[in-house]
Amino acid sequence: MPADLEKYRAKRNFSRTPEPAGGSAPRVSDRPQFVVQKHDARRLHYDFRLEHDGVLWSWAIPKGPSLDPREKRLAVRTEDHPLEYATFEGVIPEGEYGGGAVLVWDRGHWVPKGDPSEGLAQGKLEFTLHGEKLRGRWALVRLARRTGRRDDKENWLLIKQRDAAARSGNAAEIVDARPESVLTGRRIEGVAEDRDRVWSSDTGESGGPPAPEVGRPDTIPGARRGALPRRQTVQRPETADEAPDGPGWLHEPELRGLRLLCRVDRGKVAMRGAEGQDAARRLPDIASALAALPCSTALIDGFAVVFDKQGHSEAPSLEEAETAAERIVLVAIDLLHLDGWDLRGAALRARKELLRLLLSEAPPQLRYGDHVEGHGADFFREACRLGLAGVVSKQADAKYRGGRGGGWLRVPCRQGRRAARRSRGLAADEP
């Protein structure tokens, strides 16, 4: 947040410290995100969310946004959502609060005019959106409450301001012209059919655990100043029979891929696999995407994978990397270092949140390896039903120690094991 950054900058001499000054190449933390989710619940609507102070302010817009300044769209204020919600795309089970398919319809960052907290309190928020579909200046204006009516619903209007991004007529109906997800390209029917990620309401829709205070590594407990590590052993899970069901566990789908530690050092990228080979030259698109991240130094743990049509991951063959290059993505699962801060002593949950922000505007070949918190047994059952290899369950507060264990458990699906044996495993590396 810019006001905080002034103090942050005043205390530091950036010719001496490796910490980022921020602002020049804008840090992810300086750019609060906005997201619009298309939500096919009992009634189709669009959830409009603005990040502020660690939460997502939220409005439900029945008709969705219009690019026509004369079209004022009703926006009903709803509860603040956790930051993790911004990337949620999938299906909220029927019978749960908000049951139905959700897709990420637009995403980007927003720049408020004036103090957003004041604007929210006074009922007038003006801002600029930098999304893929929504751009330019917008306003949210609260309608007066009708006197004599005790209605706790706050009704607002979302209005496009007149500028170069405004349109009229059919061209203004962006929700019809561009129905697809900006994350996956799917339409809402496709999300409903795929059922690739089913969430239950208490992991997110109704609030969920408070989002950690993140954005800058120096705000994270357990982070300490340190150089970019030269060597690091990756952390690997121990095998277990069942996914832990209690809170405090993050569950990820088990990935079949080439485990890589990716070192970003002022635009230079090295991607080391288990055998010490550098995959950067074989995967130039991923390497250049890493080099372009909004940071000067980073150490990212991830998997180079190829996803098939069913969403199952496979290890890419580096020998065929040139022909398959456009299909290979790096799924980033952990962040060990960022901009002069050693994060290995910080909690996994905080590391992943920083990682998510770092990748929030990255191209599609860099993907954030998302998780579900809690509900391990349900998540495991769903993963196996979808034919995935299994799940990896990780303690949310675990430090990154390297080596096996350390609060990481791998729970294989039996089917997944067979599939894994079938798959060509040249570079396959069990996580």
Residues that bind Mn ion (CB under 5 A): 39, 47
Closest separation in Å from C-beta 429 to Mn ion: 39
Closest separation in Å from C-beta 340 to Mn ion: 40
| C-alpha–C-alpha distance, residues 284 and 106, integer Å | 28
Closest separation in Å from C-beta 253 to Mn ion: 25
Return phi, psi of residue 10, to 5°: -60, -25
Closest separation in Å from C-beta 170 to Mn ion: 26
Closest separation in Å from C-beta 79 to Mn ion: 11
Nearer to Mn ion, 30 or 89 (CB): 89
Find out whether 191 and 181 touch, Cβ atoms under 8 Å.
yes
Helix 414-422 to helix 376-385 angle, to the nearest 10 degrees? Answer: 40
Cα of 248 vs its chain's centroid, Å: 19
Q: Which of 357, 344, 354, 355 is nearest to 398 (CA)?
A: 344
Cα of 84 vs its chain's centroid, Å: 7
Strands in 240-327 per DSSP E: 249-253, 258-265, 268-272, 297-307, 313-314
Nearer to Mn ion, 47 or 106 (CB): 47
Nearer to Mn ion, 65 or 369 (CB): 65
Q: Which of 419, 51, 416 is nearest to 215 (CA)?
A: 51
Closest separation in Å from C-beta 91 to Mn ion: 13
Nearer to Mn ion, 105 or 303 (CB): 105
Nearer to Mn ion, 39 or 77 (CB): 39
* Residues contacting residue 300 through CB under 8 Å, at least 6 positions apart: 261, 262, 264, 290, 332, 334, 335, 336, 355
Shortest Cβ contact with Mn ion: which residue?
A: 39
Nearer to Mn ion, 45 or 236 (CB): 45
